[in-house]
Amino acid sequence: MKLLFRSDEDGRQVRVIERRWDGARLYYEDGALYTHVDAEGANLLRYITEMDRALEDTKNVLLLGTAGGALATQLSRRGARVTTVDNWSMTFEIARRWFRLPPQVECVHADAMQFLRSTSRRWDAIAVDVFRGVEIPESMLASDIGALLTQVLTPGGLIVWNVADSPQSWPTQWISKALRLAGYETRLVSVLEDDAGNTLVVSRQTPAPNGETETALGPEVAKTPVA
């Protein structure tokens, strides 16, 4: 193994490593593997493959969370317009230098929630892959997250949210319920990688029978686990 980059700034430990025998590169943050690509920058993590598959019919995609940019690269290489948002500006340099992030991918340095609250743009799909270590930041689980995502989606848009946990876990169930309350049909895609589990919450917007949708969780839902 060859260490290409390390950083211990901003309360995070980031390591970029290259395997000498095949040129594959890996991005670790706080001990968690976020990105794994081959020498040409093609993704090697199954959960990224499944996110890409879920997004295969979309042409204009917003990514919240970047790391090494493997998903952004996959989407861009097949012709999608990609905007990726991250609150750590160094991640864009890492993704371009070490992981072959295409130059046409738009990179925005911003907090994901602040970006959702401030932008007036819209996308066909949103992929959410925001973590500190393997935990989703509490700020991403705000009671109005469904409304915030809805306001930046085109009608009938798609959300693919990665959770580093099982389908039965509290975060997965919370996110699924939050999106259902905001007017989405949701399905859970379980992904296993070397005995570690990820779940994708795949959600598409559908109109409610009365033509309206709920766009926020009530406080009792926001504060308590979903059975």
- What is residue 223's predicted lDDT score, i.e. its pLDDT? 37
Read off the pLDDT of residues 19-54 as tens digits, 9 standing for 90 and up: 999 999 999 999 999 999 999 999 999 999 999 999
- What is residue 9's predicted lDDT score, i.e. its pLDDT? 87
With a cut of 50, which residues of the chain have pLDDT below it? 211-216, 218-227
DSSP H helices in the chain: 46-54, 70-77, 90-99, 112-118, 145-151, 170-181, 219-223
Among 113, 136, 122, CA closest to 58: 122
What are the structural domain ranges in the chain?
Answer: 45-223
- What is residue 135's predicted lDDT score, i.e. its pLDDT? 93
The pTM assigned to this predicted structure is 0.89
- What is residue 154's predicted lDDT score, i.e. its pLDDT? 96
- 45-223: CATH topology is Rossmann fold (3.40.50)
- What is residue 208's predicted lDDT score, i.e. its pLDDT? 56
- What is residue 221's predicted lDDT score, i.e. its pLDDT? 40
- What is residue 197's predicted lDDT score, i.e. its pLDDT? 84
- Using N-to-C axis directions, what is the helix angle for 46-54 and 70-77, rounded to 10°? 40
